[in-house]
């Protein structure tokens, strides 16, 4: 199942739901991550002040994975930019 996340509040809800779906306490989730219960609670309650590495480790420890999805309206612009960069690099213009 996928859970689109656009805001820290949504991430907070997803992290909590993912932990609870595994029937884990914050202490147990913290042990999976290598942190104490207090740190696990802070990560879950305020993910916006937590680094990406720790969020991704927590999601992975809870059986999830992070995916970046490009919306169709943005995909063409990204492809064009990537193509322009490749053409520039192939000419040796770094």
For 8-68, CATH number out of 1.10.3720.10, 3.20.20.70, 3.40.50.11890, 1.10.260.40 equals 1.10.260.40
80 or 30: whose pLDDT is higher? 30
Please, what sign has the CA dihedral across residues 50, 38, 32, 16? Answer: negative
pLDDT in tens, 35-82: 999 999 999 999 999 999 999 999 999 999 999 888 776 666 777 777
Task: Return d(Cα 27, Cα 86) in angstroms, integer.
Answer: 47
Q: For the chain, what are the domain ranges?
A: 8-68
Cα 36-16-40 angle, rounded to 5 deg? 10
């Amino acid at each position: 199942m996928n859970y689109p996340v656009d805001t820290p509040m949504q991430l907070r809800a997803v992290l909590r739901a993912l932990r609870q779906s595994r029937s884990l306490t914050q202490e147990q989730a913290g042990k999976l991550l290598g942190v104490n219960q207090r740190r696990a609670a802070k990560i879950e309650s305020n993910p916006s002040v937590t680094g990406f590495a720790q969020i991704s480790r927590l999601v992975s420890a809870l059986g999830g994975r992070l995916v970046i999805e490009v919306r169709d309206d943005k995909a063409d612009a990204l492809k064009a930019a990537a193509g322009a960069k490749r053409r520039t690099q192939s000419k040796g213009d770094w």
